[in-house]
Amino acid sequence: MMKYVKVGAFIHAIHSYNRFCHFESKPHLGFGSLDSQVRASVGIFWDLDNKPPKSFPPYDAATKLKKAASEFGVVRFTVAYANRQAFSYVPPLVREQRKERKALTLLEKSGVVKVVEPYICRVCGRRFYSNEKLVNHFKQIHEREHKKRLSKIESARGKMRVKLVAKYAMKMDKYKGAVRDVLIPKAGYVLADELKRAGFWVRTVENKPQAADIALRNHLVDVMDKRMVDHVVLVSDDSDFVEVLKEARLRCLKTVVVGDSNDGALKRIADAAFSWQEIMMGKAKKEAVSVVGRWKDRDVLKRLEWTYDPEVEKKLYYSEVESDDSDGFFSGEEDVGASVLKENAGAWWKLDSHSG
């Protein structure tokens, strides 16, 4: 009998544990995983329409964001969505830098200002004592060479295309690294290229209202459905993502919001929240360690909770008792109990009088 009760209680405990989450992010982990050292998977979802890196260089902002997110676990997804207008936008800081560069170039050309250290071409290493000569050199030689390489790759097919990509890979990377400091892009400030260089998967959507929000939200839900992440880092202040954050919490995913709105709706729902200033200063990276520690303590306590359901326990107990009675385990005990009740059916004072 005791063996059956223990087995039934153990099965009920397993069912209670499985009901705790909407789904288990790692279904292969059981009770032995409470002390497991497996690191969580983290996904970064960036709403560039709502939160572009206006005050910071895009590459630096993206790398600092990844470093802060890596304290929560292994960063496996880094995606950013925006429409075409977001990539053509130029922040005031970048515009000011371009104006200063243009004014300095004019002073160098007129001979008013002379540079002490020469400008060095990062592709071929040649030196120039004016920025205008460096730009002309870069356009006439290296930009033309780059366009020729791209045309060869586009016209090739099959194995030949693979060979050309491998052949020109180092030269093309070197060109991309140098062109950022020499040539001013025709549109924007190479936001997409800088984010890609930092390891982000950048997606451009149509210039329609809420197009980027819908695409990012669908991508996030798809990742949650496939159980690919344990923690979600959302870079946005847009309240349209409130419902998807609630859905993530129902599925037992931890949520982190990065934005500038201190009392925003997203930060009130998320498990943790940081500002861009905290990300860039490294404060978020330090605080993430203590946040993860609190999450682990809370998860252990929740997993060790014993949830008591009277109806389930009653059904479980009586089903076990009935099965035992059918085998005759308690027939003798019930007869003894009935005879004792019959003998002691009298009132208590009559019992005392007989005993006297």
What is the rounded CA–CA span in Å between residue 304 and residue 20?
Answer: 11
233 neighbors 67 (Cβ within 8 angstroms): no
Q: What is the CATH number of the domain that holds 259?
A: 3.40.50
User: What does the angle CA 324 – CA 329 – CA 334 come to, to the nearest 5 degrees?
Assistant: 105
Domain boundary among 162, 187, 212: 187
- Give domain status of residue 53, yes or no: yes
- Give domain status of residue 116, yes or no: yes
Q: For 61, which DSSP code?
A: H
- Give domain status of residue 103, yes or no: yes
The answer on 199 and 183 residing in a single domain is: no
What pLDDT, on a 0 to 100 scale, did the predictor assign at position 343? 54
Tell the residue number behind the tokens 């997606």, with chain if given: 203
What is the rounded CA–CA span in Å between residue 220 and residue 45?
Answer: 7
- Return phi, psi of residue 353, to 5°: -70, -40
- Give domain status of residue 146, yes or no: yes
What pLDDT, on a 0 to 100 scale, did the predictor assign at position 54? 79
The answer on 204 and 180 residing in a single domain is: no
The answer on 84 and 137 residing in a single domain is: no
- Give domain status of residue 353, yes or no: no
What pLDDT, on a 0 to 100 scale, did the predictor assign at position 350? 55
Cβ-based neighbours of 174, under 8 Å, separated by 6 or more: 122, 123
User: What does the angle CA 91 – CA 281 – CA 264 come to, to the nearest 5 degrees?
Assistant: 70
- Return phi, psi of residue 81, to 5°: -120, 140
Residue 158: C-alpha distances to residues 57, 165, 169 (Å): 38, 11, 17
The answer on 111 and 81 residing in a single domain is: no
The answer on 138 and 287 residing in a single domain is: no
What pLDDT, on a 0 to 100 scale, did the predictor assign at position 15? 45
- Give domain status of residue 239, yes or no: yes
- Give domain status of residue 175, yes or no: yes
The answer on 255 and 112 residing in a single domain is: no
The answer on 248 and 225 residing in a single domain is: yes
Burial class (CB within 10 angstroms; exposed 0-12, middle 13-18, buried 19+) of 274: buried
Sign of the torsion angle spanned by Cα atoms 173, 178, 180, 182: negative
Q: Are strands 119-120 and 127-128 parallel, antiparallel or unpaired?
A: antiparallel
What's the number of domains the chain is made of? 2
The answer on 114 and 79 residing in a single domain is: no
What pLDDT, on a 0 to 100 scale, did the predictor assign at position 243? 93
What is the rounded CA–CA span in Å between residue 64 and residue 235?
Answer: 13
Domain span including residue 147: 92-187
The answer on 199 and 63 residing in a single domain is: yes
Closest CA to 62 of 229, 246, 238, 258: 258
The answer on 200 and 77 residing in a single domain is: yes
- Give domain status of residue 323, yes or no: no
The answer on 253 and 115 residing in a single domain is: no
Bridge partners of 75, per DSSP, are: 42
The answer on 101 and 77 residing in a single domain is: no
What pLDDT, on a 0 to 100 scale, did the predictor assign at position 335? 52
pLDDT digit string (tens) for the chain, length 356 residues: 444 444 455 444 444 444 345 444 444 444 444 444 578 899 999 998 888 887 788 888 999 999 999 999 999 989 999 888 877 778 777 888 888 888 988 888 888 888 888 999 999 999 999 999 999 999 999 999 999 999 999 999 999 999 999 999 999 989 888 888 888 877 667 888 889 888 999 998 888 888 889 999 999 999 999 999 999 999 998 888 999 999 998 998 999 999 887 777 888 889 999 988 899 888 888 888 888 888 777 777 766 665 656 676 667 666 665 555 555 544 444 454 555 455 555 555 555 555 44
Domain boundary among 154, 187, 220: 187
What is the rounded CA–CA span in Å between residue 142 and residue 174?
Answer: 10
Domain boundary among 136, 161, 187: 187
What is the rounded CA–CA span in Å between residue 325 and residue 321?
Answer: 6
